[in-house]
Amino acid sequence: MILTAHQPVYLPWLGLFHKIALSDLFISFNQVQYQDEDWNNRNKILTPEGPLWLTVPALNKGRLDRKFTDIEISNTLPWRRKHWNTLRMNYGKTPYFSQYADYFEDIYRRDWNTLAELNESMLSWFLEILGIETPIRRADEFDFKGSKGDLVLDMCIQMNADAFIFGAQGEKYADLNAFEKRHIYVVFQEYNHPVYPQLDDRFVSHLSIVDLLFRCGDSSLDIIMSENLGREEIMSAIGVRG
């Protein structure tokens, strides 16, 4: 079994969907500590003036000492209306905006209390639309122990994983010897960001998945996976290791 995990992020980038598509199971790391000024509550879209952050306001009190599941959204600010209007203004004329507009209009009309609830709900929809069938489980359903690399290793052991896909930053904290002793194959994702039609001849990478969806629609998954590591290569490597 190929396993991967990530904390819940808002309007994720393409690389996260590549990791999930390669895997048999995705764990939403909703029990990790909240990280301020990260991707937990914000991401970038494209405007004619360049990239623009969309940020979900989080309540400030003690948030840096709290688990992700406990982070509440500050709904006194009109962030939902702002995000929906910004998407309409900048993507309303893209080829596939009308195909997905009803979903986003509905999502920004609903009340959301916690950031994890919002992010995990949107991730499930994105996976369905892309055609990625990898099931999602939440970390708070289990009792994973440790932090950073040790936490990932314990999760792999409990889930009987044969391989784990880290993001590129995983090389900074993963103890490869510990994974080797448990016969768990480790992959560090090196995502080759695809180029697709945007504004004129310009291209800006590392934006939210919404930029790709609104512009490329049903071709989005093929674009995400193009010129990148495939599942077959991971399975072959696991088989060679025995």
The residues that bridge with 45 in the sheet, in sequence order, are 52
pTM score over 0.75 = yes
Report the pLDDT value the prediction gives residue 218, as an integer from 0 to 100. 97
Report the pLDDT value the prediction gives residue 242, as an integer from 0 to 100. 45
Find out whether 154 and 145 touch, Cβ atoms under 8 Å.
yes
Report the pLDDT value the prediction gives residue 35, as an integer from 0 to 100. 72
Find out whether 24 and 3 touch, Cβ atoms under 8 Å.
yes
Handedness of CA 74, 118, 39, 164 (dihedral sign): positive
Range of the domain at 84: 2-241
Report the pLDDT value the prediction gives residue 141, as an integer from 0 to 100. 93
Find out whether 57 and 73 touch, Cβ atoms under 8 Å.
yes
Count: domains in the chain: 1
pLDDT at 197 over 90: yes
**32-41, 183-192, 222-231: least confidently modelled range:** 32-41
Give the model's confidence band at 64: pLDDT under 50 very low, under 70 low, under 90 confident, else very high. low
Q: Tell me the C-alpha distance between 205 and 196, whole Å.
A: 9
What type of residue is 94?
T
